[in-house]
């Protein structure tokens, strides 16, 4: 029983990790309708930026986080301004931007490797990790931070999108950008803000996750963005809260499944869930209705 | 010399893969990123056959193709119901699952893959030299090109492009969209799997990394750079994109970053062509991707 | 099928989307060799009725018979193959195919459309190609757009696109043509041309089911008119009878024209 409980705790941690990434990913999707796969690259790059500030330059934990946030927000903004906005203005569909985004993901990933090398590096705050025991279940301070941050963020974004003008405007724009322009909302600026906020969030997430795992490597953004995609789709597209919920469900399923299935099949299991959801509940577990099929 | 033969073989393999994917992406409007998985199925089936059963080339082609078709149908049947983005993501999901099988099954040798694969035999003659393998790869590419040319110029090719334009209208004209997509999926899978056979026998060792998501994205990059809906473009793109990074060897790029630089180059090309030149090097129309 | 017999018969057809009853208990017949018009305001359920007939939507209740055989439940391409050719209000041409390819894609029974036959090739396919081309050339000539045969459909003028979309329907050799607003957006001269074409088609043995907003055209062209309102049929009859119907004047002629 306690083994299962430990799996559940691990599931909550993993779920929070996916929720964190999916939140920014979904925020950007909501605003721009682009599957911003390059988000995975931003995640990787910002973790290394934080590493440089924290470990190489020894500027402290706050500086580490700030470096990650600022670098992430900047890269996200630049990608939107240089790539997605001109494509949108040229009448190119978000679908092509999605393919383009794969290219950006590849570029950032391998530029990271060129700068920091292709071997993993240790990301540590310097001090000791505190381990908490609850009976036979244990967790660490970094894990508690991840869970807490994910929860606070999910609630904050939910309030933002449901009850605040800017949030409602971003949602409206995602549904119909021309409509938004007509009623006088500065769509381009709203999208830029979404990229800054969404990317900044992934900077924080990258540091939290990096500190929890203890090592970072140039390739880590690839898998995480795939999981965020799965999370966003099983949660429900176009809805930030649903994406976070999807991330949470995914993390739980993966870790509770370890009870019965070897962990090496986690990835395959996740994508199997993705395909089942796409086919039978394309609007996602918590999402608005949106048809994915058409023939 | 050996080096040029090796590069030539790679170009021929990628030309085959690119043409086979272009039929889906450029002609039919099905943006699949599972092509490397089908390619991998062909490669693994060939390797397993050669190690345990037979190195007969024709048997290898036949069984690799059948396996490729079966796996492709598993991908196609559910995915074909989905629209654009969702289709792409579903194929990506299958790509990840199949990669995971290559990586984790005992029979595929896990992360280290399969090695020590014997030379193939064709009508009792053992193909030993890399130059003979090169000829074989080129032959496959030429057959693939000619047959693709044939079907795209036939009334069937007209239907492929009609499906790309508007599948509701195709159905309203009494033509089965499902049958059209199904046919081209199978054709595409046969050549992707056959390319896998050639790859296995050329390298005599395979591992999962050659058949991952990156590889699928690379093949789609080749399709887009060459030009969606252009068979000549596919061949050209395979040649240019394989040769281009080889040029790094002749300028002073340190070995440590050369592979990274190559990936960055491919990423840049994908971004550049989707952003500025969607018709590719010699593609038909700029908005096939829409 | 002899003129005057019911070629298409709808029996108590219903379809709702969520809470909205788009078509309810709709029954009517389309007799062979006639022009039958469906009229009604926006949202009356005309296009939904088309989508039900063509199999693009499945009815919640009711049946559809074509030449006496049930076609409800068949997928769209089988309905089309049975002989029901459907045109779209938004045309849905194959924009980046040539005008000729648009027509040829619609010609039924081509062996070369089978991938295996296409791979084998051979003399039969060459002959077939000649027959197909002759057929498309004849249609393009009849539609007066043969000069644009090799132009992409998207490059044609709107009027030419409408002609091409009609040509695509004719190429299917369907017996029943479903036309959705075929004259909207056309110049008066072209509207006349279209009306004459439709009449010639029924004279040649085809049957037309028409959705049309232009009351004057409907009255002049139709043999039979079915008036829809809120998903149901509220009246039907010959043009004169329908014109005299007060309900019709109110719900359709008065409001939406």
ipTM for this model: 0.91
pLDDT for residue C58:
93
Q: Which residue reads 């086979």 in tokens?
A: B20
In a domain, A65, yes or no: yes
Establish if B88 belongs to a structural domain. yes
Asked whether residue C217 is domain-assigned, the answer is: yes
Residue A197 is assigned to a structural domain of this protein: yes
Q: Which helix (H) or strand (E) holds B122?
A: strand B121-122
Calpha distance C33→C19 (Å, rounded): 37
**CA dist., res. A18 & res. A10, Å (int):** 12
CATH code where residue A107 lies: 1.10.3470
Domain shared by C52 and C114, yes or no = no
Interface-testing mutation among B26, B144, B169, with chain C (most C C-beta atoms within 10 A): B169
Choosing from C137, C171, C205, the residue where a domain stops is C171
pLDDT for B77-102, tens place per residue? 888 888 878 899 999 999 999 999 99
What is the extent of the structural domain holding A144?
A: 2-280
Instruction: Count the helix, strand and coil residues of chain B and give each as a percent rounded to the nearest 5.
Output: 75, 5, 20
CA distance C193 to C183: 10
Domain boundary among C171, C194, C222: C171
Disruptive mutation site among B24, B25, B96, B253 for chain A (greatest number of A CBs within 10 Å)? B96
Give yes or no for a contact between B32 and B217, defined as CB atoms under 8 angstroms apart. no
Q: How many domains does chain A have?
A: 1
Q: Where does the pLDDT of residue B289 fall: very low under 50, low under 70, confident under 90, or very high at 90 and above? A: low
In chain B, the percentage of residues whose pLDDT exceeds 70 is: 97
CB contact under 8 A, A278 and B88: no
pLDDT of residue C31 exceeding 50, the answer is yes
Burial class (CB in 10 A: 0-12, 13-18, 19+), C110: buried
Which residues of chain A are within 8 Å of residue B167 when distances are taken between CB atoms?
A: 295
Q: Domain span at residue B82?
A: 2-212
Number of domains in chain C: 2
Q: Is residue C89 part of a domain?
A: no
pLDDT tens-place values along chain A, 295 residues long: 577 778 888 888 888 888 889 989 999 998 888 999 999 999 999 999 999 999 999 888 899 999 999 999 999 999 999 999 999 888 888 888 999 999 999 999 999 999 999 899 998 776 666 777 777 777 777 788 888 888 888 888 878 777 777 777 777 776 665 555 555 667 888 889 899 999 999 999 999 889 888 899 999 999 899 999 999 999 988 778 888 889 989 998 988 888 788 888 888 999 999 999 988 888 888 876 544 443 2
Please report whether residue A289 resides in a domain: no
The three-state secondary structure class of C199 is helix
Q: Decide if B156 and C80 are in contact by the 8 Å CB cutoff.
A: no
The total number of structural domains that make up chain B: 1
Name the residue facing C104 among B158, B165, B287 (closest C-beta).
B158
pLDDT at B3: 87
Instruction: Name the residue range of residue C71's domain.
Output: 1-83+174-257
**B175: chain C residues, CB-CB within 8 Å:** 77, 105, 113
pLDDT beyond 80 at B256: no
- The answer to whether residue A294 is domain-embedded is no
Q: Is it the case that residue C247 has pLDDT exceeding 50?
A: yes
Of the pLDDT bands very low, low, confident and very high (cuts 50, 70, 90), residue B268 is very high
Say if residue A136 is exposed, middle or buried (CB neighbours under 10 Å; 0-12, 13-18, 19+).
exposed
Give a yes or no: residue C126 inside a domain: yes
CA distances from B24 to A210, B148, B197, B214, C40 (A): 40, 11, 21, 18, 43
Tokens of B135: 């000829």
Residue C102 sits in the same domain as residue C78: no
Q: The pTM is what? A: 0.91
Q: In what helix (H) or strand (E) does residue A3 lie, and over which residues does it extend?
A: helix A2-32
Distance CA A242, CA B91 (A): 23
Does residue B58 register a pLDDT over 90? yes
Asked if residue B264 is part of any domain, the answer here is no
Average pLDDT, chain B: 92
Whether C96 and B168 lie within 8 Å, measured CB to CB: no
pLDDT of residue A178: 57
Q: Is B287 exposed, middle or buried (0-12, 13-18, 19+ CB in 10 A)?
A: middle
Report pLDDT for B49: 96
Q: Are C245 and C237 in contact (CB under 8 A)?
A: yes
In angstroms, rounded to a whole number, what is the distance separating the alpha carbons of residues A290 and B84?
14
- Minimum mean pLDDT among A8-17, B45-54, B230-239: which range? A8-17
How large a percentage of chain C has pLDDT more than 70?
94
**Minimum CA–CA partner of B285 in chain C:** C96
| pLDDT on residue C68 | 92
Q: Which secondary-structure segment (H or E) carries C24?
A: strand C20-31
Most confident of A233-247, B170-184, C229-243: B170-184
| pLDDT over 80 at B197, yes or no | yes
Burial of residue B10 (CB within 10 Å: 0-12, 13-18, 19+) is: buried
In a domain, A290, yes or no: no
Assess if residue A295 is contained within a domain. no
């Amino acid at each position: 029983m306690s083994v299962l409980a430990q799996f559940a705790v691990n599931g909550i941690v993993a779920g929070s990790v996916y929720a964190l990434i999916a939140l920014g990913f979904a925020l950007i999707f909501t605003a721009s309708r682009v599957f911003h796969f390059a988000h995975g690259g931003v995640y990787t790059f910002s973790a290394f930026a934080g590493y440089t500030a924290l470990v190489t330059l020894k500027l402290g934990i706050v500086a580490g986080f700030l470096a990650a946030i600022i670098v992430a927000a900047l890269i996200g903004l630049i990608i939107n301004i240089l790539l997605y906005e001109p494509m949108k203005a040229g009448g190119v569909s978000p679908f092509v931007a999605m393919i383009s985004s794969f290219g950006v993901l590849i570029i950032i990933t391998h530029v990271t490797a060129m700068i920091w090398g292709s071997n993993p590096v240790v990301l540590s705050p310097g001090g000791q990790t505190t381990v908490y025991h609850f009976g036979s279940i244990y967790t660490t301070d970094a894990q508690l931070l991840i869970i807490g941050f994910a929860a606070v963020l999910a609630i904050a974004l939910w309030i933002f999108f449901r009850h605040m003008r800017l949030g409602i405007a971003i949602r409206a724009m995602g549904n119909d950008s021309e409509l938004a322009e007509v009623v006088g909302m500065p769509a381009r600026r709203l999208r830029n803000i979404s990229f800054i906020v969404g990317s900044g969030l992934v900077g924080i997430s990258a540091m939290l996750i990096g500190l929890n795992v203890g090592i970072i490597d140039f390739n880590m953004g690839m898998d995480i963005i795939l999981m965020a995609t799965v999370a966003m789709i099983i949660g429900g597209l176009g809805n930030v809260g649903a994406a976070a919920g999807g991330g949470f469900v995914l993390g739980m399923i993966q870790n509770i499944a370890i009870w019965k299935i070897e962990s090496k099949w986690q990835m395959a299991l996740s994508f199997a869930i993705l395909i089942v959801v796409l086919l039978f509940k394309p609007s996602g577990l918590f999402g608005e209705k949106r048809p994915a099929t058409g023939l | 010399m050996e080096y040029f033969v090796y590069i030539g073989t790679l170009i021929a393999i990628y030309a085959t893969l690119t043409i086979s994917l272009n039929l889906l992406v450029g002609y039919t409007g099905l943006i699949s990123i599972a092509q490397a998985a089908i390619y991998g199925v062909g490669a693994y089936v060939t390797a397993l056959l050669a190690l345990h059963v037979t190195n007969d080339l024709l048997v290898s082609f036949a069984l690799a193709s059948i396996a490729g078709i079966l796996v492709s149908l598993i991908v196609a049947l559910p995915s074909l119901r989905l629209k654009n983005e969702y289709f792409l993501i579903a194929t990506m999901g299958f790509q990840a699952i199949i990669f995971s099988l290559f990586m984790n099954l005992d029979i595929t040798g896990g992360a280290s893959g399969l090695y020590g694969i014997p030379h193939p035999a064709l009508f009792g003659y053992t193909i030993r030299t890399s130059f003979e393998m090169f000829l074989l790869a080129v032959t496959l590419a030429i057959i693939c090109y000619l047959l693709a040319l044939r079907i795209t110029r036939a009334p069937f090719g007209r239907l492929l492009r009609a499906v790309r334009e508007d599948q509701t209208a195709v159905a309203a004209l009494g033509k089965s969209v499902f049958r059209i997509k199904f046919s081209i999926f199978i054709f595409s899978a046969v050549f992707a799997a056959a390319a896998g056979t050639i790859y296995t026998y050329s390298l005599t060792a395979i591992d999962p990394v050659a058949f991952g998501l990156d590889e699928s994205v690379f093949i789609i990059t080749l399709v887009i750079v060459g030009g969606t809906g252009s068979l000549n473009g596919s061949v050209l793109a395979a040649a240019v994109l394989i040769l281009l990074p080889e040029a790094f060897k002749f300028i002073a790029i340190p070995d440590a970053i050369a592979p990274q630089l190559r990936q960055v180059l491919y990423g840049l090309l994908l971004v550049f062509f989707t952003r500025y030149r969607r018709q590719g090097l010699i593609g038909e129309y700029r908005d096939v991707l829409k | 099928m002899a003129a005057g017999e019911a070629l298409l018969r709808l029996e108590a057809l219903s379809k709702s989307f969520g809470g909205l009853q788009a078509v309810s208990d709709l029954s009517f017949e389309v007799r062979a060799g006639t022009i039958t018009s469906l009229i009604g305001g926006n949202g009356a359920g005309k296009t939904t009725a088309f989508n039900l007939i063509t199999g693009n939507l499945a009815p919640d209740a009711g049946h559809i018979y074509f030449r006496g055989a049930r076609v409800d439940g068949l997928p769209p391409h089988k309905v089309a193959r049975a002989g029901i050719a459907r045109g779209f209000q938004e045309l849905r041409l194959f924009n980046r195919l040539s005008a000729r390819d648009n027509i040829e894609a619609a010609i039924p029974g081509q062996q070369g459309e089978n991938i295996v036959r296409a791979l084998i090739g051979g003399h039969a396919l060459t002959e077939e190609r000649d027959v197909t081309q002759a057929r498309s050339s004849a249609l393009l000539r009849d539609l007066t757009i043969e000069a644009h045969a090799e132009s992409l459909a998207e490059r044609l003028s709107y009027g030419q696109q409408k002609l091409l979309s009609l040509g695509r329907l004719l190429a299917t050799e369907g017996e029943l043509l479903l036309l959705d607003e075929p004259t909207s957006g056309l110049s008066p001269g072209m509207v006349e041309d279209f009306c004459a074409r439709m009449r010639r088609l029924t004279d040649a043995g085809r049957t037309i089911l028409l959705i049309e907003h232009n009351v004057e055209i409907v009255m002049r062209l139709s043999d039979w008119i079915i008036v829809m309102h809120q998903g149901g049929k509220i009246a039907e009859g010959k043009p004169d009878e329908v014109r005299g119907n007060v309900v019709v004047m109110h719900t359709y002629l008065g409001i939406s024209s």
